[in-house]
Amino acid sequence: MRRLAAEFIGTFALVFTGTGAIITNDVSGGVVTHVGVALTFGLIVVAMIHAVGDVSGAHLNPAVTLGFFAARRIEGRLLLPYVGSQCMGALLASMTLSFLFPEHATLGATLPAGPVLQSFVLEMILTYILMFVILNVSTGAKEKGITAGMAVGSVVGLEALFAGPISGASMNPARSLAPALVSFHFHALWIYLIAPVLGALVAVLCCRCVREEGCCGLPRAKV
């Protein structure tokens, strides 16, 4: 229960501050700026990794949890409870933002700015990079220490910075699902549910190729 509570609280904080920054930027006439939104997403990830990384791993993302499961770094019995906790935390965050900003139409939902295929491939690659970094800086299913928090948070902020205007740079099914459900904006939601999962799974395979020993359950390489 401590792990599930940590994932619930961490994902709530991610969606509340991240999509909250988008909403605040919209209602304030751009005071936060796109750079500010990207930094908000990156910094909250750093903060939550330091806060609950040693409890649950601070996955905060169903795609990351699925990636850890595929890499054999998390028990199968925890998969659905983790994903459920993340989605509930994200949903509560979007409901809270809807109460605070009832006039906002999308509540920070991720929507493609261009062709659907463009955003799908972009989201897949973004999540692949994120998951690849996570697998290489984490210990088991957990991220620990300053290096892990800064590395993962930096990737999130960097990818939001350059890809946000095109695909929304979600990389996270829960982050996209919650505002879509609350604001009833389901256009192209499937992109943000499927592409991040595929990207995370590809990252697991690439991690196995790069790490000759000790990664994703591979045995020690023979010299």
* pLDDT of 209: 81
Please give the DSSP secondary-structure letter assigned to residue 78: G
* pLDDT of 223: 35
Non-local (6+) Cβ contacts of 185 within 8 A are 105, 106, 109, 111, 179
Determine the Cα–Cα distance for residues 107 and 216; give it in Å rounded to an integer.
37
Domain ranges of the chain: 2-210
* pLDDT of 143: 59
- Distance (Å) of CA 192 to CA 91, 110, 151, 204: 15, 8, 23, 19
Model confidence, pTM: 0.89
* 72 three-class SS: coil
* pLDDT of 212: 57
Non-local (6+) Cβ contacts of 172 within 8 A are 14, 60, 61, 62, 63, 64, 192, 196
Contact (Cβ atoms closer than 8 angstroms) between residue 167 and residue 115: no
* 142 three-class SS: strand
User: pLDDT tens per residue, the chain (223 residues)?
Assistant: 899 999 999 999 999 999 999 999 999 999 999 999 999 999 999 999 999 888 988 899 999 999 999 988 889 899 999 999 999 999 999 999 999 999 999 999 999 998 999 999 999 999 999 999 999 888 655 555 567 889 999 999 999 999 999 999 999 999 999 999 999 999 899 999 999 999 999 999 998 887 656 554 554 444 3
* pLDDT of 222: 43
CATH number of 2-210: 3.40.50.300, 1.20.58.1030, 1.20.1080.10, 3.90.870.10? 1.20.1080.10
